[in-house]
Amino acid sequence: MALQPQNKLKLLYHRLCNLMTLNTSRKALDNIGVRFRDNREQVGDRELIQDYRFFRSEDLAFGFQSISLALKDKPVAISGRLKRTDTLIRKLRREETMKLTFMADIVGFRILVASPIIQNSVKDALCNLLPVKYVKDYINEPPNSGYQGIHIICQIPKTFPGNNAESNLAYEIQIRTHYQHIWSTTSESMGEQVKEGGGTEDQRIQLVTLATKIRSFEKENPDVEQVKIISSTTNPVYIVLNYDKSKGSTISRQNFGQNLARGIEYYKYLEDQFSRNLNNEVVLLVSNEEKRLPISHTRYYSLKGRPNIPMELR
């Protein structure tokens, strides 16, 4: 007899629980996060943060499958990623009250849709079927930067070493229209400092102007198809990318199919190889099709990481 979708998810989860091990308690991990925040990290702390991140990698598979099943009939491009170690540490230092194991976007997913109408239907579908903790609406309440999108924070039960009781950890789902994603990719092409509130005045003006045009267009055209996206398989595909930030181009791209364990092994290898090279960005991605990654992760597939701006937004 065929397994029901929820039983398939449970089986997948238990299989992945043995994928990565962790020998540190939740409290100890949060203490390591505090040390990084205060710039007093100890020998071995970075490696323990990496261990925790790989411990969370099983949630990349489980979360992707949950999202795919919830949206199996909708025209979406689904992708996910593990947060890079350096980005994780910068966030700990930037947000003074942040605890490492309470960080919601160590495991993050991105859903790209063709219009605001589809965006709202996707949000409703996910909120009806997933264990949602809260929703952040950056369309009706956008930050000063101009960013727009909908973020859903979901919960997933985890058991830490030395404690048989389950703890609820979080993962994040971003839902963006194609044009909202163009804004985000444009911001990323300007460097991390722009997203974090820095950058030049010209860059900030450019982003606010682009955000205003996107908001106006989407308000007047909520059902216009911005990009062609069709529904597809719910099977995951794991990709490891090595991106050169100084050149704005992808050096290598390796497809591991549905084999997450092999993808993580190669991901760890590349991270170790380029740990001292700040220009290299090694990324582990999951998608429902590799050919959709140029839509959901435009930065790694376009010249200098810059998206093409449609005529109506220029």
Residue 159 maps to a domain: yes
- Residues 284 and 268: their CA atoms lie apart, in Å, by 10
In which band, very low, low, confident or very high, does the pLDDT at 158 lie, cut at 50, 70 and 90?
Answer: confident
Tens-digit pLDDT profile for residues 252-268: 999 999 999 899 989 98
Q: Which residue has the tokens 């999108």?
A: 149
CA within 13 Å, CB half, 11: 7
In the predicted model, what is the mean pLDDT of residues 5-14? 50
Residue 100 maps to a domain: yes
pLDDT at 19: 44
Please give the C-alpha separations between residue 114 and each of 120, 229, 291, in angstroms, as whole numbers. 11, 7, 16
Residue 236 maps to a domain: no
In which band, very low, low, confident or very high, does the pLDDT at 221 lie, cut at 50, 70 and 90?
Answer: very high
Tens-digit pLDDT profile for residues 42-90: 998 988 888 898 889 889 999 999 999 999 889 999 999 999 888 888 8
- Residues 236 and 290: their CA atoms lie apart, in Å, by 9
Check which CATH number belongs to the domain holding 140 and give it. 3.30.460.10
Residue 233 maps to a domain: no
In whole numbers, what is the pLDDT of the chain averaged over residues?
Answer: 88
pLDDT at 134 exceeding the cut of 80: yes
Tens-digit pLDDT profile for residues 136-157: 999 999 898 899 999 999 999 8
pLDDT at 80: 95
pLDDT at 15: 45
Identify the residue with better confidence: 242 or 10.
242
Residue 255 maps to a domain: no
Identify the residue with better confidence: 288 or 237.
237
What range does the domain containing 174 cover?
A: 5-228
pTM of the complete model = 0.89
Are 153 and 172 in contact by the 8 Å Cβ rule? The answer is yes
pLDDT at 220: 97
Residue 250 maps to a domain: no
Query: In total, how many domains does the chain have?
Result: 1
